[in-house]
Amino acid sequence: MSLSEPFQKPTTMLYRNLLAMETEELLRSYPIDGAVLMGGCDKTTPGLLMGAESMDLPALFLPAGPMLRGHWGGTTLGSGSDTWKYWADLRAGNITREDWQEIENGIARSPGHCMTMGTASTMTSAAEALGVTLPGAASIPAADSRHAVMAAHTGRRIVDMVWEDVKLSDILTRAAFRNAVTTVLALGGSTNAIIHLIAMARRLDVGLGLDDFEELARRTPLLANIRPSGKYLMEDFFYAGGLPALLRNLGDLLDTTALTANGQTLGENIERAKVFDEDVIRTRDNALVASDTLAVLFGNLAPDGAVIKPPAAEARLHKHAGPAVVFDNYDDMAARIDDPDLPVDENSVLVLRNAGPQGAPGMPEWGQLPLPKKLLERGVRDMVRISDARMSGTSYGACVLHVAPESSIGGPLALVEDGDVIELDVAARRLSLHVSDEELEKRRADWQQPPAKYGRGYGALYLKHITQANEGCDFDFLEAGPPVPEPEIH
């Protein structure tokens, strides 16, 4: 099935697991000995790999490749990131509707997925670091002729993998997953990678959790100068040496003994890689950020964790306390965010609830809450925003995401009221609601769970079996378990 980010409603994340189920059952029910998995946009990479992992045939991933740079009026545009930037400028009255139309016309000018370090390039790069693509596959622009060459090499290699019986379970070890996490951190990658990589690891009963992201974030520098955390785009990254060059610069932060799909170790694959532009791909002693490109937060507002991308937020907001302005759901937020009478200023903390795996449902990319128009007109461009939603990897801002457990199942976010003081402390990894336990218990006694959004079909199955963000948002019955018997043929 197709998972189209711009068109599918309510969110492609609702259907990632359905793609994984379809992939697994196609591989199981047909006489297939091995598979090339072709994807690129956000959820397609983890969805295809999750299904293939559960079937555990020889499989090789072929990324679709990023599109070419966008362009408008002498300005280079990056998909997603510049959409948010110029949409804020439009709402603030800094550009015209005609300008906005020209930006939309110039931001996607070739085939391919987003060319910023959004979820698409984050996950295809993670797949390469995991060893399930051929070396260099993730960085090649979709329109570049070398992409077709890589496709031919991939087609040849999968045949050999079948004869050699190299399965995904042989490659996707704990060391490989930690290499992927380190790579995501060094790229300034999407926060969505946390959910996807945890889900992928749990398919093979490999231990990977928020603690791994937190541990590795404290030691991994940001080396890729790519938007939204940096300056350049994926086309520039490819010409600068691509992912193999960045992996080589990471050096001993990776386990280079990990086996990859071409039969060589990660270290053997990257030993000849070179950097051709040291502003695009930095060295460890000239990193954009020394560490902490992701941070995992805990506290009474997020007992099972929440995440933030500190380099994408204004530094002044890394430690901040302010009164909550609460929106019960997305429609409530959309209806009131630009109300001139909304009691909000730049010190407020915007809170969106009922936007998680069950509450939305599907955990859409609503976490980059728009700033109130009256604050945009005053020049405010960032505020602390908290939700149980995700956000696009192309987004930026002081957005606390993936709050778990989510509000719609009774997580503490459900109990926040307007005016409650919320404190964010990135350095201390804390997210605190300054309300007494006694008051919270009183509110909990009055809380009622929202009615289920689906009563039948796939939606009902989804609501019954979806796990929380810190567990990967997979279906509980799809995680690692006893092997499924080979179908009989009569």
Block mean pLDDT (10 aa), the chain, length 490: 89 97 96 96 97 96 95 88 84 90 90 93 98 98 96 98 97 98 97 97 97 98 94 96 98 98 98 98 97 96 97 94 98 97 98 97 95 95 97 88 98 98 98 97 96 95 98 96 79
Q: What string of DSSP letters covers 290-310?
A: SS-SSEEEEETTEEEEEEE-G
- Which residues are paired to 385 by β-bridges? 350, 399
Rounded to the nearest 10°, the torsion over CA 380, 82, 316, 325 is 60
Q: Is the peptide bond before 361 cis (omega within 30 degrees of 0)?
A: yes
In whole angstroms, what is the distance from residue 117 CA to residue 394 CA? Answer: 6
Structural contact between residues 397 and 385, judged by C-beta atoms closer than 8 angstroms: yes
Domains belonging to the chain, first-starting first, are: 12-67+113-286 (no CATH), 70-106 (no CATH), 295-446 (3.50.30.80)
pLDDT at residue 119 in the model: 94
> How open is the CA angle 400-401-403, to the nearest 5 degrees?
105
Amino acid identity, residue 215? E
Determine how β-strand 399-400 pairs with β-strand 302-308: unpaired
Q: Which of 299, 321, 298, 296 is nearest to 309 (CA)?
A: 296
Q: pTM of the entire structure?
A: 0.95
Q: Is the peptide bond before 10 cis (omega within 30 degrees of 0)?
A: yes
pLDDT at residue 80 in the model: 80
In whole angstroms, what is the distance from residue 132 CA to residue 45 CA? Answer: 11
Tokens describing residue 61: 């991933």
In whole angstroms, what is the distance from residue 246 CA to residue 238 CA? Answer: 10
In whole angstroms, what is the distance from residue 89 CA to residue 75 CA? Answer: 15
Structural contact between residues 392 and 402, judged by C-beta atoms closer than 8 angstroms: no
Q: At what angle do helices 119-130 and 242-250 cross, to 10 degrees?
A: 60
Amino acid identity, residue 245? A
**Secondary element (H or E) of residue 60:** strand 59-63
Output DSSP code: residue 399: E
In whole angstroms, what is the distance from residue 391 CA to residue 308 CA? Answer: 10
Output DSSP code: residue 259: B
Work out the burial of residue 286: count CB atoms within 10 Å of its CB; fewer than 13 is exposed, 13-18 middle, 19 or more buried.
exposed
